[in-house]
Chain A
Amino acid sequence: MAEAKVAPRPLSPHLQIYRWSWTMAMSVVHRITGVALYGGIALFAVWLVALASGPNAFDNVQWFFGSPIGYLVLFGYTWILMHHMLGGVRHLVWDFGHGMEAAQRINMARFTLVGSVALTLAIWVVAFIAF
């Protein structure tokens, strides 16, 4: 059989060709936050292992989390976690066949952003007041 020639085949366009919409943006953010959480959980593992290692290791790790950069990381991590959680709830709603209408989709996408910011602020305000 003659060797098959690879013809230049048309490719489906990637993200940059489309006009940004709420659902598309929140879908992209859902994936990015998922990847960020994947890496970020290592921080929790380091904290736990330091706790299990003894006071010296623990104090070193606590110094980082208590620093301005540490707080920034924790604050960012809170938002990323809340956004991924609300985005996940949105996906579960879709899995049950609800919320497929255009207006519902856009409202749910907006809610993921607004809700995640509100939850993040609420968590930090409550954490500072209550504890």
Chain B
Amino acid sequence: MADNRADTRVSMRTPLARVKGLGASGHGVEHWWIHRMTAVSNIPLIIAFVIIVAALAASPSYQDAIAIISHPLVAIILILAVISVTNHMRLGMQIVIEDYVHDKGLKIAAVIANNFYAVIIGVACLYAILKVSLGRILV
């Protein structure tokens, strides 16, 4: 028997949407991908971070801490770590929010707060690292 319905396999998506390939979320796999990319970059940066913090814990005076943080290699590693980690945690917390917060308004508020928190932490850390280290030449 002939099936006279319109082809049920026809996609409702426009050719432009299909060629962009960004899906219903509007940003494709960007969230997932940056989460993985920052996961990879976190590994060496966190190992370096742990070593730096151990060195800081061993010499607790203010001058020592300033000297360690203002070393260019330390400052650069910490800046990279802050950028990588704050992005990773922002993406991760958004997944947690989307899993557990079902009320739409509350979810939007939580995602906004999450973004604000990550940016505040990131800017605070970067400002402090730069303020301590810029212009300070170790003699």
- List chain A positions with a Cβ less than 8 A from chain B: 31, 34-35, 37-38, 41-42, 44-45, 48-49, 51-52, 55, 58-59, 62, 65-66, 74, 78, 81, 85, 88-89, 91-92, 95, 123, 126-127, 130-131
Contacts and interface: CB of A to CB of B under 8 A. Distances in A.
Contacts of B76: none
Nearest to B55: A131
Interface of B: 36, 39-40, 42-43, 46, 50, 54-55, 57-60, 62, 65-66, 69, 85-86, 89, 92-93, 96, 121, 124-125, 127-129, 131-132
Contacts, number: 76
Contact of B128 (A51, A62, A66): A51
Contacts of A95: 36
Given A31-B96, A88-B42, A123 B62 contact: no
Contact of A49 (B58, B93, B124): B124
Contacts of A91: 39
